[in-house]
Structure 1
Amino acid sequence: MSLGDEHDGFGGVGGSGQTRTRLPEGNSGDVYGGARRPVRSSRSLITVVGVVVLLIAAIAFANRGGGDPADAAPSAGTPGEQAPTAATGVRPVKEKNGAIPTGFARDEQGAQSAATNYAVTLGSDGMFKKTGRHQIVDTVYTPDAAKRLKTPQDEAYSAEFLKRLGLDAEGNPPAGNTFVSRTIPVGAKVESYDGDTAKVSVWYTGLIGMSGPDSTDPVSTTWMTWTFDLRWTNNDWKIADDSQTNGPAPVPGDVTASTADEISKAVEEFGGFTYAR
């Protein structure tokens, strides 16, 4: 991560499925499919519901994840190949350091999951408070990288910079306002992998800004790609270096922007995710 670059909204420091449609059968002109199907008896309905419940339970059990080779799925995200967007493979994380997922698998899937979850953590509002930022940096970076980054980051997150965002010197928003900083991954890909190191790029959209009645910096979106150089350190993937580039960015939609109250309420009610590959 380059500290010399201008600080962006997230700190700057720090396959495909198809939908099949069933057409109406028969030659009738009835757009709902012609003759009505017979009504199922209550006994048949109970049987169907029972099968569905058992199926859901079986899927949940199979996806619990564990250390057995049978629990692993084929590797996703092989360099140069398309990868499904749905979560695949072993359970992504076995433990957490506070709210930060840790304990990723030592394979390509684990590297992708680590990079994606670290992007979420590094793009959170926790980075705007010194104590939280140091905890995050110590957790997701290698010891050498963490030691190298802390002082420059503290200088970058200066009181003057925080003031421009509408925060006080401690990183707190004014009363009645909600500061929003979130990274929402769209996808990840493995650039390279050799077992001890991995380069993973995470394409994401982000939310950044102040939501409040008097805000002069309303919450807006950004599109960027965050590339992480990961190293297997202390039985987990850690960031040795990282960088960001703008885009790819889609054409903005025509959805009407929500009010500050709606944004604040959404941020409070909708929690984040632990991401798998």
Structure 2
Amino acid sequence: MSGSKVVGIALVAVMLGVWAVRSFVIGGEDAATEATVTTTGATSDQSDQASSAGDSPAPQPVVAAGDLAGIPVGYPSTDDGAATAAVNWVASFPTIVRMGPIRLDDTLNTLLSESRAASGSDEVIADYFTLIDELGPDFASRIWIESPLQFDVTETAGATASVAVWSMLVTGDAEDGDVEAIWRTHRISLVWERNDWRIDDITINEGPTPAPNALSLPSPSSEFVTVDEWQPAVFAGTISRIDD
């Protein structure tokens, strides 16, 4: 892989962290109407039956109620809901990086907290075109797979939560060159606003990075293209629907 492509990969890893806490502030209202955001929980009939039987309601699984542009949304206002929102956000990195600037703007205006959605515009636009300069206009067609591996709820306080997510980003040219793995840790702050967990702040740091297995040979990019079309494993059981 050329030096410019390596620089570009590092750049996109940083930029998506920056994009996560800024938005273009152009027409967020349309995006808000696209997402159906409802929290999960027992129905009234289920609650009545549990009460009449003298039993406590059974714990409900943490499931996103829907999606916005392919990103799961609509979590319960619990610590588990915040953790699931953070993990699914990280797994949604490939969806985000493949958006155009206008769709990215609309999406982030809904997913971010009000304070974060109200900041930044010129810098994000400049970042987007810098990314095109580094990776070329076809950067969205690259292989992009982000796999959350471990998470830790580091802090909760009522309507706020902080979650650390360790993940592996796999990226490379779909037809030529090596596909590389980048290990990184996302530290995500969330706030409960507008009936859902919203992203309020993100920092992304490299590592911890394991040493590669000397006996394992790199796979051809065609094998990664195949798995790039699969759904993130962490979405299994945590979303009620994802529209194609």
Pair in the same fold by TM > 0.5:
yes
Are 1:124 and 2:99 counterparts?
Answer: no
What is the count of residue pairs matched by the alignment? 192
The letter for the 2-side match of 1:234 is: R
Are 1:91 and 2:58 counterparts?
Answer: no
Tell me: higher relative CO, structure 1 or 2? Use CA pairs within 8 A at least 6 residues apart. Answer: 2
Are 1:110 and 2:81 counterparts?
Answer: yes
Query: Paired residue for 2:149, among 176, 186, 192?
Result: 186
Q: 1:149 Cα shift?
A: 4.1
Q: Secondary structure at the match of 2:164?
A: strand
Q: 1:119 Cα shift?
A: 1.5
Match of 1:245 in 2: 205
Q: 1:12 Cα shift?
A: 3.7
Q: 1:212 Cα shift?
A: 1.1
Q: Distance in 2 between matches of 1:255 and 1:237?
A: 40
Q: 1:235 Cα shift?
A: 0.8
Query: Paired residue for 2:134, among 164, 186, 208?
Result: 164
- 1:30-55 CA-to-partner distances (Å, cap 9, x unmatched) read xxxxxxxxxxxxxxxxxxxxxxxxxx
Match of 1:78 in 2: none
Match of 2:168 in 1: 205
**Would the aligned equivalents of 2:113 and 2:193 in 1 still touch at CA under 8 Å?**
yes
Tell me which moved more, 143-152 or 186-195.
143-152
Q: TM-score, normalised by structure 2?
A: 0.69
Within 5 Å, give how 1:234-273 maps onto structure 2.
Answer: 234-253=194-213, 254-268=215-229, 270-273=230-233
Q: Secondary structure at the match of 2:226?
A: helix
**Would the aligned equivalents of 1:134 and 1:150 in 2 still touch at CA under 8 Å?**
no
Q: Distance in 2 between matches of 1:150 and 1:208?
A: 27
Judged with a 3 Å threshold, the aligned counterparts in structure 2 of structure 1 residues 235 and 180 are, in CA distance, closer, same or farther, namely same
* Structure 2: runs of 5 or more not aligned: 1-9, 20-39, 48-55, 239-244
Say what the alpha-carbon RMSD is for the aligned residues. Answer: 2.4
**Would the aligned equivalents of 2:162 and 2:189 in 1 still touch at CA under 8 Å?**
yes
Q: Distance in 2 between matches of 1:147 and 1:182?
A: 29
- 1:124-176 CA-to-partner distances (Å, cap 9, x unmatched) read 15325213322331232113212314432221121x432322x31xx556xxx
Judged with a 3 Å threshold, the aligned counterparts in structure 2 of structure 1 residues 220 and 125 are, in CA distance, closer, same or farther, namely farther
Q: Distance in 2 between matches of 1:98 and 1:126?
A: 9
The letter for the 2-side match of 1:261 is: S
Match of 2:106 in 1: 135
Q: TM-score, normalised by structure 1?
A: 0.62
Q: 1:108 Cα shift?
A: 0.9
Higher helix share: 2
Q: Secondary structure at the match of 1:226?
A: strand
**Would the aligned equivalents of 1:230 and 1:241 in 2 still touch at CA under 8 Å?**
yes
Judged with a 3 Å threshold, the aligned counterparts in structure 2 of structure 1 residues 149 and 219 are, in CA distance, closer, same or farther, namely farther
Judged with a 3 Å threshold, the aligned counterparts in structure 2 of structure 1 residues 202 and 212 are, in CA distance, closer, same or farther, namely same
Q: 1:8 Cα shift?
A: 4.3
**Would the aligned equivalents of 1:71 and 1:90 in 2 still touch at CA under 8 Å?**
no
4+ residue stretches of structure 1 with deviation over 6 A?
Answer: none
**Would the aligned equivalents of 1:9 and 1:208 in 2 still touch at CA under 8 Å?**
no
Q: Secondary structure at the match of 2:13?
A: coil
Judged with a 3 Å threshold, the aligned counterparts in structure 2 of structure 1 residues 71 and 139 are, in CA distance, closer, same or farther, namely farther
State, as a whole percentage, how many aligned pairs show the same letter.
21
Q: Distance in 1 between matches of 2:180 and 2:224?
A: 11
Judged with a 3 Å threshold, the aligned counterparts in structure 2 of structure 1 residues 133 and 209 are, in CA distance, closer, same or farther, namely farther
Q: 1:115 Cα shift?
A: 0.7
Which of 1 and 2 has greater Rg?
1
